[in-house]
Homo-oligomer: A and B are copies of this chain.
Amino acid sequence: MNHTQTDSQTRLEGYKAIIRKMKMYEEAAALIYWDMRTGAPKKGIEARSEVVGELSTETFRMSVSDEMGAYLDWFTQPEELAKLTPIERKMIQESKKDYDRSKKIPADKYQAYVVLTSQAEAAWEEARAQSDYAAFQPYLEKIIATTREFIELWGYEGNKYNTLLDMYEPGMTVEKLDAVFGALREQVVPLLQRLQAAADQPEHGFLQQDFAKEKQKQFSLYILQQMHYDFDAGRLDETVHPFATALSRGDVRITTRYLPQDVGSALFGTIHEGGHALYEQNIAKELEGTNLCTGTSMGIHESQSRFWENVIGRSPQFWSRYFGDLQAAFPGQLDDVDADAFYRAINRVEPSLIRVEADELTYNLHIMIRYELEKALINGELETADLPAAWNAKYKEYLGVEPQTDSEGVLQDVHWSSGAFGYFPSYALGNMYAAQIAHTLRKQLPELDALVARGELAPIKEWLTEKVYRHGKLLTPGEIVLEATGEELNPAYLVDYLRSKYEAVYKL
């Protein structure tokens, strides 16, 4: 092939310009999303939704345009790829992956799927309200059938579910996940039983009092500042469902929810979203405006929110430092409690039916149940008609509780109605990554406990920036874990962490 360096340079600039433009449209759409949830007046919502639709459509068009296709054909030639910088090479690879995935689905099939999931979400909402699984089942049936069809078009290696896993957690497979989830379940179930039988159960009634919202907000702001969340690159607002959204690395917003009767909800919600935000705020500046300027996977993202929420935020050292501040923030309300009692209360374990209300230990079991059911559905080993019974049986087996209605069972999550099969494992992977990363951090920063007990959290943020945050999507989740901890994902760290933590909490 006969081409000059200038050809490549011009093409590279053209490619990067499309990527920047896509990022800009995504940024505008993200602001609209944030605004809709934090206070957009309701009569503007309909028109605004069309604006988001338009921007998303344009972004998608750019990602599968002939122009994009030509650039990708050019730069995926081995001799061209070799000339690129590591960042450029990874950019091209990411774009190519998106392009191929989108191009393999015929436009009319994809359009029909978008309509289907939109109807399914509405049907799910109604079905959940009525606890009427039969009303939702036909939609779920179609979504699964379409997903199976898409998997055939996308292709798969080994298990069909691998293709779905790879979307949220690049490189993750059923084989790996079965092994780590299996090891985890083997340890967590008996641990849970020991905790439930423990003589000294933590008191927790004092967490439910009337905690003034304005004071909760002030304390949330204080804790974020202690975490070195950068308020010049973000802000805290209030929404019904807490979330973090990165409009750019210079504008990473978080929201929380203040429950007047529960001091923990906003507090740990804020720390959790703050963890997501620290990740996005600390991505290297050189990745700005590229398709690598975001967290590398759902699992690694969740590891950061859970590291800050659970490993740091629910540790005894953290509360030996901050419980006095919490008492001072709510005068007279926590005077009869000490830091140790508070620490035990916020770590109380109780098997429950609802995932989003689960504690740190049992949460993993909620995820495993969903993972096993998804895998069976996608592989045609479970019919949607049998799903509620299978769900209930697994809850009985893993958690010892059984839903009385499908609303508090199989209908509780939105994910399946939106077609997000393969997403759930990220939550449990996040816990495993967090424990493994925490283990390495403790080895490399032996004074970790003392730092937390003094409220010196900057060295932790800096270590995570170096090992995780700055890389954005330049490294895969597997590379991040290997480079940061020296080994592949290993569930033993989460098992060890949970056992030693809960034996302390329950005085076993």
Q: Which residues of A contact B (CB under 8 A)?
A: 21, 24-25, 27-28, 31-32, 35, 39-48, 50-51, 54-55, 230-235, 247-248, 250-251, 253, 288-289
Contact = CB atoms under 8 A, between A and B. Distances in A.
Contacts of A232: 41-43
A278 to B, nearest CB: 14
A39 B235 contact: yes
B288 A47 contact: yes
Contacts of A44: 233, 247-248, 250-251
Nearest to A247: B44
B32 A51 contact: no
Closest 5 CB pairs of A and B: A44-B251, A43-B250, A44-B250, A43-B233, A47-B248
A261 to B, nearest CB: 26
A54 B233 contact: no
A254 to B, nearest CB: 11
A113 to B, nearest CB: 24
22 contacts: A24-B54, A27-B47, A28-B28, A28-B51, A35-B35, A39-B235, A41-B231, A41-B232, A41-B250, A43-B232, A44-B233, A44-B247, A46-B250, A47-B247, A47-B248, A47-B250, A47-B251, A47-B288, A47-B289, A48-B247, A48-B248, A48-B251
A43 to B, nearest CB: 4
Contact of A233 (B24, B41, B51, B235): B41
Given A35-B31, A48-B247, A43 B288 contact: no
Contact of A234 (B25, B35, B41): B41
Given A24-B51, A41-B250, A42-B232, 4 more contacts: A27-B48, A28-B55, A31-B35, A47-B288
A199 to B, nearest CB: 50
Contacts of A47: 27, 247-248, 250-251, 288-289
Nearest to A230: B43
Contact of A32 (B31, B42, B253): B31
A271 B28 CA distance: 31
Contacts of A55: 24, 28
A47 B253 CA distance: 15
Contacts of A51: 24, 27-28
A31 B43 CA distance: 15
Contacts of A250: 41, 43-47
Nearest to A51: B24
Nearest to A28: B28
A246 to B, nearest CB: 10
B50 A24 contact: yes
A21 B235 CA distance: 31
A251 B27 CA distance: 20
Contacts of A50: 24
A27 B32 CA distance: 10
Contacts of A248: 44, 47-48
A14 to B, nearest CB: 16
A288 B50 CA distance: 13
Contacts of A234: 41
A114 to B, nearest CB: 19
Nearest to A34: B35
A277 B429 CA distance: 50
Nearest to A27: B51
A191 to B, nearest CB: 42
Contacts of A54: 21, 24-25
A485 B39 CA distance: 39
A251 B40 contact: yes
